[in-house]
Amino acid sequence: MDIFIKIIYAAISILVATLYGLILIGIVHKIYARVHRRIGPPVWQPILDIIQTHGRKVATSHGIMFFLGPVFRMAGGMGTYLFMPVIFGSVVFSNYSMAGDLLLVMYFIFFGQLGMALGAGEGGHPYSPLGIARGLSQMSTFELPFSLAVISIAIQYQTLNITTIVAAQQGGMLNWTLFTNPLAVIAAMISLLGMNMHSPFSLVLAPQEIPIGPPIEMNGSFLGILQTNRALFASAKLVLFMNLFFGGATNLPIMMLKTFSIYMFSVFIGAAFPRFRPEQSFRFFLRIPTLIGILSVIVIAYL
């Protein structure tokens, strides 16, 4: 019986995270609009878009993998979200955090991309593999500083369990990883810029270069699933960063405040800078953030 209650709680948690992610994307549209001196769409516009895409009467599929691509992507987003505690100490929002650890979550971040790569490739449009090549290359490069940051905090807290990491940061702001291991946080936050794929690193969707890349052939409900996942995945990544570096959250408003602030970091940078070319982006991640990551591991291990 216990497992059923757990499943219901997980469903509630996913619903809240998805809605929160959608509103977050709406707020980002609004912020970008204000930067352009426009009024911008209402914040609930992403929700209307999802209803509209699911409401299409026709959906063209190109084969089984095309069908499964968005499903894998959604599984990646859900997996990332489900194996970490969203709110520390809460029963409803603890998800299945005890079942997994940091490495599993990191695997799920990559998993969705790989599934999408298989699915979008079957669409047959030349821009899909181009976007996937860019996406996977960029992902490999920004995972490097992120992995180094994770190694660093694993040495620091002597564990890979996210709940334990959050527990270790309780009891005041100065216990956050941000202050106890600043180098790891800097490396990870720079890799977050790549993960969120806002402007300097928006190589994958790049509407003016490779018209929206991998999902170019996705239509109707396929696109609806991808959009839902984008919201869920965005909140999952933010929650992960909040848990690892910013002390986690003990209630819902604190969680929303912290994740919103973390997201705004990449949004403001995105609104201010133009897009990198692929090779510029890859080189950027492999240089300074990676060096900072290595430094953080050395500092935490030997000093």
Partner 1 sequence: MKEKDIKIIEKEMKLANEGLPEMERDLFADDRPSRIEPLNKYLEQFLNWARARSLWILAYGTGCGAIELRPLMTARFDAFRYGIAGRPTPRQANVFIIGGYASLKTIKRIVRSYEQMQGPKYVIALGSCTINGGMYYDSYNTINRIDYYIPVDIYVTGCMPRPESLIAGFNGLKKKIQAGQCDGMNKYADNFDWYKANQKQIIKDWNMPDYNW
The closest of 119, 100, 108, 281 to 197, measured between CA atoms, is 281
Residue pair 21/234 in contact by the 8 Å Cβ criterion: yes
Output the smallest distance, CB 62 to partner 1, in A. 10
Cα–Cα distance for residue pair 234/224, rounded to 1 Å: 15
Does the protein bind partner 1 through residue 103 (CB under 8 A)?
no
Does the protein bind partner 1 through residue 29 (CB under 8 A)?
yes
Which amino acid, 154?
A
Does the protein bind partner 1 through residue 124 (CB under 8 A)?
no
Q: In this chain, which stretch among 4-12, 43-51, 110-118, 294-302 interacts with partner 1, using CB under 8 A?
A: 43-51
Does the protein bind partner 1 through residue 43 (CB under 8 A)?
no
Angle at which helices 288-302 and 127-157 pack, to 10 degrees?
Answer: 20
Residues 54-73, interacting with partner 1 (CB under 8 A): 55-60
The closest of 112, 103, 101, 51 to 78, measured between CA atoms, is 112
Does the protein bind partner 1 through residue 139 (CB under 8 A)?
no
Does the protein bind partner 1 through residue 126 (CB under 8 A)?
no
Q: In this chain, which stretch among 96-104, 174-182, 207-215, 263-271 interacts with partner 1, using CB under 8 A?
A: 207-215
Can you tell me which of 6, 19, 31, 49 binds partner 1, judged by CB under 8 A? 49
- CA 88, distance to chain mean position in Å, is 20
Cα–Cα distance for residue pair 188/145, rounded to 1 Å: 6
Binding site for partner 1 (CB under 8 A): 29, 33, 36-42, 45, 48-49, 51-53, 55-60, 207, 211-212, 216-220, 223
